[in-house]
Structure 1
């Protein structure tokens, strides 16, 4: 197992990586469905913390494997088998999502996370044994992940036995999250791993598409529930179409920027860029839950208020747009998505739900989608103007070269 070169041409995601992502579809669908149930029952805030906790486990396991594979994807028998062990852990974690979100029982989730981490630690140990140049880095990764994993298991044991009070469980979770995030930084102080910037950019783009697909799935569950309740109404059609347009706009904005070149030139910003995607990905998953409830309420009544449903859509959209600008700004010299435009759109989006008791949820979702489409149009126009300006600046240079 030797590190792959960082400038390997035509590096793309492997079939094994695509299969690995497929297992996360199940986990993300489970946590999104549970958040939607919490919103529909009027307990959105109570369901938010477990959602963020479980989603962190999903995202962190995916991200750790992604960056490891970018450096050490040997695709031999041992590598494939250890990767499949991690896939099994993802599926175990997905089974435990309802108990974690609904009853704060993280036993099965902790077990699934443990299985995933065992597979990853074995990968790092193998890299440490076989890649002498990066041995210290690989062994640091294995040690750091193992120590924090023991702390996760100990946390669950203390919570189950009642030794750890419920008031201390979330703060302790936050502390362990900080330790998890610190492991890569600590491990790579001796030597950085050979991750491929274009491969990483593609992998993050693929996970973004998965989360957009989860939003479509969540919305379809709302459509199913609404259809079971009665006839198709005009608010039902408006919300369904607006939700689809909203997802299209989110996809368009994300892929306006090619992150591979920026990551290649600014490798030192990879931590902030990668970690920033947690909020961005969580926002997409939460948006799916909000759209599901919005569609469902158009067919029959739900426990929560129109204001809460409006914000269940508006807050994830506002968070997504803000973080999208931030992660793009980290790796590009000049972001095509203007901060002024983003702030204006986010302000309008966050104010719209206040009118939901009078204009209805359908009108709020439609207006949010319209604002996002407007941002896409403005951004495309800005990008085109910048390209034309660049061509005009190059024209005098080309003319002078021809004259000489």
Structure 2
């Protein structure tokens, strides 16, 4: 039996504590299929830059993030080096890849095929958590809310097969709400079991890696938007350089303020932090889509939705920064830096307000001037944050030297 368990690898028990670990090669391989999924839905939004396209993008992004989050959390909490974990990961990758195929297919049965793939994904994630209870009796009590709510969501998906628009879209959005509901229900059970859940350092690293995926799509948006212009002159190259620097500035802001910062203890705090990634990364993704069309709209202002893309670019960037502002509430900074969070949040609020104003003026501004303003505002924010951190660090060093100096 011990040999079978070592080979098959039953899931780790929820009650077992483990040291901080590195992200495995299997997890990185698992992320690759989500790179493709995000790329496909981003490409779909670029081809349909309207309200309907945005609604579809929102649903698919939130659903794909839900699938990635559940698979990642399962591996973080219950993953082993056994065959079972590898197979469970492979099967989920196949399901997501199948969903990508259906999204990329424009046939007459497209909606039906997408619905079936989403239903399979929903049922599989339900099984993923339910199956842990076979090996762990403690988890069996905890996973009941997941099983019941996820199956209720699955039942609603089945119902969409017999509905027409706009009811199909409404029901699908309702299933998203249900899918993110269980953690708020199970917190009372965790208290009764004297258990708690905190976002591990490895899971925080995974969230950062997922963010890098979206940043890659944003860079691709800049490259695609530039290459599609055909004629490359000095003005195009300047706008290209400014755009790349804007993406780099957004990268610095996120990974300096959010990445590698521990989340406040508590199950609900961890889940709220995970939820805040959704609007933050959606804002970043839409920024990339807007980049891909911003240059085209500038060259041909008569292009359909050119005005919407200009406004969407600024609003999406502000959504990304707003998400970071809210994330700071749930993050713990080192001693001495904790008080700087409120100051950073105020600076971010000012930055967002200035960017929104610049976006309103973008109607009459040249694209190059607008991009310079955006980059300038972001750089000023970065410099002020860096200056405040250097001041805090100097104060800490001075206090340390004072404590160790002979009296």
Same fold flag (TM > 0.5): yes
Give 1:305 deviation, angstroms: 5.5
Q: Within the alignment, does 1:378 sit opposite 2:377 as a pair?
A: no
Per the alignment, residue 49 of structure 1 pairs with 55
Q: Using CA pairs below 8 Å that are at least 6 residues apart, which structure has the higher relative contact order?
A: 1
Counterpart mapping for 1:4-403 below 5 A: 8-39=18-49, 44-98=50-104, 106-154=111-159, 156-159=160-163, 162=164, 166-191=165-190, 197-227=200-230, 231-257=231-257, 262-263=262-263, 265-297=265-297, 303-304=303-304, 306-332=306-332, 333-334=338-339, 336=341, 338-399=344-405, 402-403=406-407
Q: After superposition, what is the alpha-carbon deviation per residue over 1:50-86, rounded to whole angstroms, capped at 9, x for unaligned?
A: 1111111111111111222211111321221121111
SS at match of 1:158: coil
Give 1:318 deviation, angstroms: 0.6
Does the aligned pair in 2 maintain the 1:68–1:195 contact within 8 Å? no
RMSD of aligned residue pairs (Cα, Å)? 2.8
Alpha-carbon separation, structure 2, partners of 1:387 and 1:19: 39
Give 1:94 deviation, angstroms: 1.7
Per the alignment, residue 3 of structure 2 pairs with none
Q: After superposition, what is the alpha-carbon deviation per residue over 1:351-394, rounded to whole angstroms, capped at 9, x for unaligned?
A: 22333343223322332122222222221222222222333344
Per the alignment, residue 7 of structure 2 pairs with none
5+ unaligned residues in a row in structure 2: which ranges? 1-10, 333-337
Does the aligned pair in 1 maintain the 2:130–2:147 contact within 8 Å? yes
Q: Which is richer in helix?
A: 1
The number of equivalent residue pairs is: 387
Give 1:103 deviation, angstroms: 9.6
Alpha-carbon separation, structure 2, partners of 1:381 and 1:304: 44
Alpha-carbon separation, structure 2, partners of 1:222 and 1:26: 19
* Change beyond 3 A, Cα 1:397–1:118: same
Give 1:2 deviation, angstroms: 1.9
* Change beyond 3 A, Cα 1:341–1:261: closer
Give 1:139 deviation, angstroms: 4.1
SS at match of 1:13: coil
TM-score by length of 1: 0.86
* Change beyond 3 A, Cα 1:339–1:257: closer
* Change beyond 3 A, Cα 1:23–1:302: farther
Q: After superposition, what is the alpha-carbon deviation per residue over 1:158-212, rounded to whole angstroms, capped at 9, x for unaligned?
A: 32xx3xxx34444433432221111233245323575652012101100010000
Alpha-carbon separation, structure 2, partners of 1:266 and 1:382: 29
Does the aligned pair in 1 maintain the 2:280–2:319 contact within 8 Å? yes
Does the aligned pair in 1 maintain the 2:150–2:178 contact within 8 Å? no
SS at match of 1:372: helix
Does the aligned pair in 2 maintain the 1:117–1:149 contact within 8 Å? yes
Give 1:306 deviation, angstroms: 4.8
SS at match of 1:392: helix
Alpha-carbon separation, structure 1, partners of 2:232 and 2:245: 19
Give 1:104 deviation, angstroms: 11
TM-score by length of 2: 0.85
Alpha-carbon separation, structure 1, partners of 2:112 and 2:387: 51
SS at match of 2:228: helix
* Change beyond 3 A, Cα 1:157–1:376: same
